[in-house]
Amino acid sequence: MKIVIDAGHGYQTPGKRSPDGMREYEFNRVVANYSKKMLEDYEEVEVFFTHSDDRDVPLKERTIRANQLNADIFVSIHANALGAGGWNNGNGIETFVYISKPSEACDVAKVIQNRLVDMTGRKNRGVKTADFQVLRDTKMSSILCECGFMTDRKEAALLKTDLYRKTCAEAIVIGLVDYYKLTLKTEKIVKGKWKVQVGAFTSKENADKLGIELIQKGYKVFIVYED
């Protein structure tokens, strides 16, 4: 499976920053890096980037690369903003799909949106549609995640923390794992490490609940189904 992770914008993109100076790309790229590292623990998964730390990659170039890769899913990572400048009370998480509401993209978006909201505890602004170029011009299922508002003081502070960035990445990855039924590489389970199991449940809801609690405390969690 080919997964494209796209950190939105770039260091030099005009205006894409919080009122106190955090560039949006600083958040986006870290979440992208964490997501790639986590996804590479799964069988038959290849992860590609369309962004660059060296330059602001044009949107057309990003979509062309994703299409040339013949990717299965395109996930663009962003931090949101409201208004023309300054702090305000817009807050929460939302995930976008293209205006035609492609069925698979909508389904993936719902899974990841729910994971992001559950694991961060932020307001659920829902799955929405938009005519964004990265959603319109990509040939595969494509979603765009807005992981919090840079223009809200509380969320801007969260967006700066490594724990929140890692939590967003884990939510995106777990959503992809759940939807596409990805399988953890065998060596990641048994080779060279001792694993500590906290619990085993017949109910996936209970397993998810404990997993979320552990992630919020800073632990790396994998939820695996066994017969």
What domains can you pick out in the chain, each with its CATH number?
2-185 (3.40.630.40)
Average pLDDT over residues 158-181: 98
What does the mean pLDDT of the chain come to?
92
Q: Looking at residue 219, what is its pLDDT?
A: 73
Name 144's Cβ contacts closer than 8 Å, sequence gap at least 6. 8, 75, 76, 78, 95, 96, 97, 130, 132, 134, 135
Q: Looking at residue 186, what is its pLDDT?
A: 85
| Cα 7 from Cα 40, distance rounded (Å) | 17
**105 has pLDDT over 60:** yes
Name 95's Cβ contacts closer than 8 Å, sequence gap at least 6. 109, 110, 112, 113, 116, 126, 127, 128, 143, 144, 145, 146
Average pLDDT over residues 196-225: 73
| Cα 214 from Cα 206, distance rounded (Å) | 13
Q: What is the percent of the chain with per-residue pLDDT over 70, rounded to a whole number?
A: 92
Q: Looking at residue 10, what is its pLDDT?
A: 97
**130 has pLDDT over 90:** yes
77, two tokens? 């990572």
Q: Give the chain's radius of gyration (CA, Å).
A: 17
Q: Looking at residue 216, what is its pLDDT?
A: 67
Which of 197, 131, 193, 166 has the alpha carbon at shortest distance from 30?
A: 166
Average pLDDT over residues 138-144: 98
Q: Looking at residue 168, what is its pLDDT?
A: 98
- Angle, nearest 10°, between helix axes 162-180 and 204-216? 160
In tens, the pLDDT along 174-203 reads 999 999 999 999 876 655 555 666 777 777
Average pLDDT over residues 100-104: 98
Q: Between 224 and 16, whose confidence is greater?
A: 16
Q: Looking at residue 222, what is its pLDDT?
A: 66
| Cα 106 from Cα 194, distance rounded (Å) | 38
In tens, the pLDDT along 30-61 reads 999 999 999 999 999 999 999 999 999 999 99
Residue written as token pair 């949107």: 59
Residue written as token pair 């962003």: 78
Judge if pTM exceeds 0.85.
no
Q: Looking at residue 73, what is its pLDDT?
A: 98
Question: Which residues on adjacent β-strands are paired with residue 42?
Answer: 184
Which of 160, 154, 157, 8 has the alpha carbon at shortest distance from 88?
A: 154
